[in-house]
Amino acid sequence: MSPTHLPKSSSLARVGLMIPSSNTMMEVDFTRDLPAGTALHTARMYMEDTTPAGENRMLDEFALPAARDLGTARPDVVVFGCTSAGALRGNDYDAELCQRISELTGAPVVSTIGAVRTAIEASGAASIGVITPYIDELNEKIRASIEDDGIQVAGITGLGITDNFAIAEVEPDEIVAFAVRALGPLAAAGTIDLVFASCTNFGAMAVRPVIADRLGLPVVTSNQAVLAAAVARLRTLWSHPPSTTSAPAAMTRRCGCWPPVVRKPRSWPAGRA
């Protein structure tokens, strides 16, 4: 992703990010890897327990108020930054939630679980292995969301962490060791084609190349997939140079629940190709 294709200075593109209140990882990953010319604006949804009960409460009580508040910053694109909450009530609910957030913010919305599903499909993988920091109840929701697309989840293993703040405290080398321990046999046997590391509060994005090297497989992480989808969507909102007018491959309804938001395209900065 070339940062020269995004505005800068007084023409910053605004990325709105909705995350659980106890998430301390996603902003770090986005700030590090967003292209130059973008600004990140975050809204927090109260959640401390990474459990079905904790996530249901977040969805019912705090998600839409956070979206309303984030909308006052007039974001160009909004990211719903919780993988397991997006999968919790099924893919149709995730699409409906993104639609409602879009109505409240006035911006297109990118779902994390949707972006992950699109990235997995684009890879051509038929069977994948998944690592998460979650308990089994949430792992099964992730499995169901992915398998709804016809992708086999050959193995999914979680660390069993229910304190969301603690998820971000898992050290990078621990994540790599966990991936090798949980999925190494499946990778060695040729049972899986790809590894997915779930959770926007899990530090897997930074060690993605290491996991790929150790297992000899491509790796998708929650933050990597949704960041790429958000930037791809953001580019469609700007007047592109003639050579870059084609829509990105990741632009699908699954990836972002993008309704036809009517917005005048911004002019592409002069001299930027």
Beta-bridge partner residues of 104: none
Q: How far apart are CA 170 and CA 151, in angstroms?
A: 28
pLDDT digits (tens, 9 = 90+) for 21-79: 999 999 999 999 999 999 999 999 999 999 999 999 999 999 999 999 999 999 999 99
Beta-bridge partner residues of 108: none
pLDDT bin (cut points 50, 70, 90) of residue 238 is low
pLDDT bin (cut points 50, 70, 90) of residue 146 is very high
271 has a pLDDT exceeding 50 = no
pLDDT of residue 3: 38
**In the chain, where are the structural domains located?**
3-114+225-256, 122-222
- Tell me the whole-structure pTM to 2 decimals: 0.86
Concatenated DSSP letters of 193-218 = SEEEE--TTSTTSTTHHHHHHHHTS-
Percent of the chain with pLDDT over 70: 83
User: Taking the domain 3-114+225-256, which CATH number applies?
Assistant: 3.40.50.12500
For residues 170-195, average pLDDT: 98
pLDDT digits (tens, 9 = 90+) for 81-130: 999 999 999 999 999 999 999 999 999 999 999 999 999 999 999 999 99
Q: How far apart are CA 133 and CA 201, in angstroms?
A: 9
Burial 175-210, CB ≥16 within 10 A → b, else e: bbebbbebbeebbeeeebbbbbbbbbbbbbbbbbeb
Residue 16, SS3 per DSSP:
strand
pLDDT digits (tens, 9 = 90+) for 112-124: 999 999 999 999 9
* Alpha carbon separation from 68 to 128, 136, 187, 234 (Å, rounded): 36, 32, 44, 20
Q: Which amino acid is at 29?
A: D
Same fold, 3-114+225-256 and 122-222: yes
Residue 202, SS3 per DSSP:
coil
pLDDT of residue 180: 98
User: Taking the domain 122-222, which CATH number applies?
Assistant: 3.40.50.1860
